[in-house]
Amino acid sequence: IRRQVSKALHVEEVKDHLRKVLADVESAIFVEKGFHPRENFRQSLKYLRKELKRQRIGFDEVKGVLVELEAQLIGIVASNFKVEWWPLHVYLVGAMFCFVSSSMAHTFSIISPKANMWWWRIDYVGIAVMITTSFFPVVYYVFLNDLAWRNFYLSTITVLGSVVACISLLEVFQTNDYIKFRAMFFVAFAITAVVPLLHAVMLYLPLKNHHFTNIVLYELVMGFFYLFGAFLYAIQYPESRFPGKFDLFFNSHQVFHVCIVLAAYAHYLAVREAMNWRYAI
């Protein structure tokens, strides 16, 4: 738009150039799927107003054409873009697998020593699966315009998640001597999310987009619940401080599970905010 408008000398030429933009936008949609016409259009309007003022052309004279152009842009987006739901579904399936495996482990681990060993392994694998799948929707939607970074982060977390799941199956990983190590191990794995989050903050926070700001806030809330729950689980508070008082209710293990559910919900809100940002749903 900038290149075309800069060539305009009077109102009619401006109108003609604006109409030609539609063809460029439509082709750009198929070349770069992450094209965001609404934001680009607002930036172009700002530039256009400045350019028309410089050339002493009344902005109101072409305002009608601009409104028509925006309506056509939205129509193009609606007809050529479909909402990608699969990243959200990946996360939901991963979260459900984690919750179901945890429920099964707590229910059937008392059957026998062998059952205890295997069910807790499945439980730890479920945690690894949930952390891995949590990356998919936010990374996919936030880096929708950056195909290379999006694929890099998703492939990296998939490999790391597979390694963590394999380590979780080791017999030594199940012993009580490694209770603090287990907590720190999964926390360290989850903290790898800081890398793409900081990258996204550097890219999008300067734009002052309220959707992205909300995403960051939801992710911070999620991180708080994860860390708080893992911390209590690692130090086994309050039962370590008050022996016998929290054997049935409100012990660290139970609080940990509540924190995980709250963190999962906060992450879900972040995902929906990201989808609303990219697809306006």
Binding-site residues for Zn(2+) sit at 106, 253, 257
Helices and strands, number each (H, E), in the chain: 11, 0
Residue ranges at the known binding site:
106, 253, 257
- The whole-angstrom separation of Cα 55 and Cα 92 is 54
* 111: three-class secondary structure by DSSP: coil
Contact 193, 134 (CB under 8 A): yes
- The whole-angstrom separation of Cα 224 and Cα 230 is 10
- The whole-angstrom separation of Cα 28 and Cα 101 is 45
Under 8 Å CB-to-CB from 121, ≥6 apart: which residues? Answer: 168, 169, 173, 174
